[in-house]
Amino acid sequence: MEQDQSLKMERWTTAFASYGWEQMQDKLNQQIVGKKEAIRLACLTMLAGGHLLIEDVPGVGKTLLARSLAQIADSSFRRIQMTPDMMPADITGSMVLHPSTGELRYSEGPLQAHVVLVDELNRASSRTQAALLEAMEEHAVTVDGVTRPLPQPFMVIATQNPFVFEGTYRLPEAELDRFMIKLSIGYPEVHAEADMLVREQSKGEGGRIPRPVLTTAEWGLLIARRRSIHVDAVLCRYISELVRATRQHEHVELGASPRGSVALMQAAQAQALLSGRSYVIPEDIKELAVHVLSHRLVLRSSPHMSPEQVIREVVHQTAVPSFSKEARSLQEGRSQAPEASPYSQQQAGTGSLDRAWPSASAPSRLANDASEAKPNPTEADIVDSGPEWSSGRSRTRRSKEGSSWFRGLFR
């Protein structure tokens, strides 16, 4: 019985992730016009449970993207505007004297939120930047010797302007390494900017606030589902080979760390889940390698190479598991259990990466079963917090628990 419930949860969360992704993309595209790739990477980072670094010039929508992500997930949001005189206690919180009792009490800092925007991170001193390290890695802050957990899920979205150097500090490698993905939004195309101006005229006084697509509890459940996406041992080896190649490259002084390997695997799992698959394929890793690994590299002096070029070269030169019709047919008929994956069947006496893999277009039986089982859930199944599958519109009512839609799966 428990196994059936677990399988049902797996099917529904996979289907909901694909559906929720489409809804999130549509909502964010209404807010930030013409930047689908940046929106895709931001949503992927959110689902993977990672942190996002946006490096770009002012006015391209960095703050708007961060705020919209929090609103779409119906989550708490706080913004920290970094300045050179800011102290660590200004972001972690501090102990303050209560006037009536004379006792020291903890006063929460702005990190106590699900989504935290750290604007112009490179304007803060190295000491203040270091205060973020524990929060980003441990999801907790230590004040006066007491460690306090942060809300879960927890995501930091930091921004920096690459063209301003006066009054800024270089981001240390330890901090850069804690960001799963680094992206640049860039200026919009002419037609997209014109469309933005037309939409701006129709906005109300407070602007258009995107309606929530999922609750905070559902966001957390999808992160948990992402962790169960199967990554075969040979793909783990492939990721390790890619990362090791960055350390051995002739133009690289400091290559990607083991944390980078973990981040690449987690991002690939999130992309597989958003694609309706219960397994990772090589294309997931190849497509995300530049976004996940490039900001972790420190290059030797070379005017002809950039970190992005190094990663592309490494991906091109590293052997990739190959495809075959046999593996594709096996994948189409695979069971839901990761152990039954066709590419987890080791070739006798070989550890080579030259293996056969299903293509990205090969249907996932898990995703198909989810759609066949109940393509149009009833109102009782959806309850208050879930999406309205039949109409494609998100619901605005929220239950106190936030996960009533998922509770309906087990009725």
**What CATH number does the domain containing 167 carry?**
3.40.50.300
For residue 5, the model assigns a pLDDT of 53
Q: Assess whether 380 and 329 both reside in one domain.
A: no
**Strand pairing partners for 142?**
147
Do 398 and 212 contact (CB within 8 A), yes or no?
Answer: yes
What pLDDT, in 10s, does the model give residues 104-132?
A: 888 889 999 999 999 999 898 888 888 89
For residue 285, the model assigns a pLDDT of 96
Q: How far is CA 213 from the centre of its chain?
A: 16
Give the pLDDT band (50/70/90) at residue 19. Answer: low
What pLDDT, in 10s, does the model give residues 367-380?
A: 444 344 333 333 33
15 in a structural domain = yes
Give the pLDDT band (50/70/90) at residue 10. Answer: low
224 in a structural domain = no
Residue 269's closest CA among 320, 222, 316?
222
For residue 209, the model assigns a pLDDT of 64
Q: Assess whether 153 and 36 both reside in one domain.
A: yes
Q: Assess whether 332 and 315 both reside in one domain.
A: yes
For residue 390, the model assigns a pLDDT of 29
Q: Assess whether 259 and 214 both reside in one domain.
A: no
Residue 311 in this model has a pLDDT that exceeds 90: yes
Q: Assess whether 78 and 68 both reside in one domain.
A: yes
- Indicate the range of 72-76, 134-138, 322-326, 335-339 predicted with least confidence: 335-339
What pLDDT, in 10s, does the model give residues 225-252?
A: 899 899 998 999 999 999 999 999 988 9
For residue 408, the model assigns a pLDDT of 42
Q: Assess whether 117 and 191 both reside in one domain.
A: yes
Average pLDDT over residues 377-397: 34
345 in a structural domain = no
Longest dimension (CA), the chain: 75
Overall domain count for the chain: 3
Q: Assess whether 70 and 45 both reside in one domain.
A: yes
Q: Report how far residue 183's alpha carbon sits from residue 200's, in angstroms, rounded to the nearest whole number.
A: 25
Q: Assess whether 128 and 149 both reside in one domain.
A: yes
First to last CA, the chain: 13
Residue 140 in this model has a pLDDT that exceeds 70: yes
Q: Assess whether 253 and 166 both reside in one domain.
A: no
Give the pLDDT band (50/70/90) at residue 6. Answer: low
Whole-number average pLDDT of the chain: 76
Q: Assess whether 169 and 272 both reside in one domain.
A: no
Instruction: Quote the domain boundaries for residue 390.
Output: 371-410
Q: Assess whether 214 and 268 both reside in one domain.
A: no
105 in a structural domain = yes
343 in a structural domain = no
193 in a structural domain = yes
Q: Could you say which of 167, 190, 219 is where a domain stops?
A: 219
Do 254 and 299 contact (CB within 8 A), yes or no?
Answer: no
For residue 3, the model assigns a pLDDT of 54
For residue 18, the model assigns a pLDDT of 61
Q: Assess whether 98 and 160 both reside in one domain.
A: yes
344 in a structural domain = no
Give the pLDDT band (50/70/90) at residue 349. Answer: very low
17 in a structural domain = yes
- Indicate the range of 26-35, 86-95, 177-186, 319-328 predicted with least confidence: 319-328
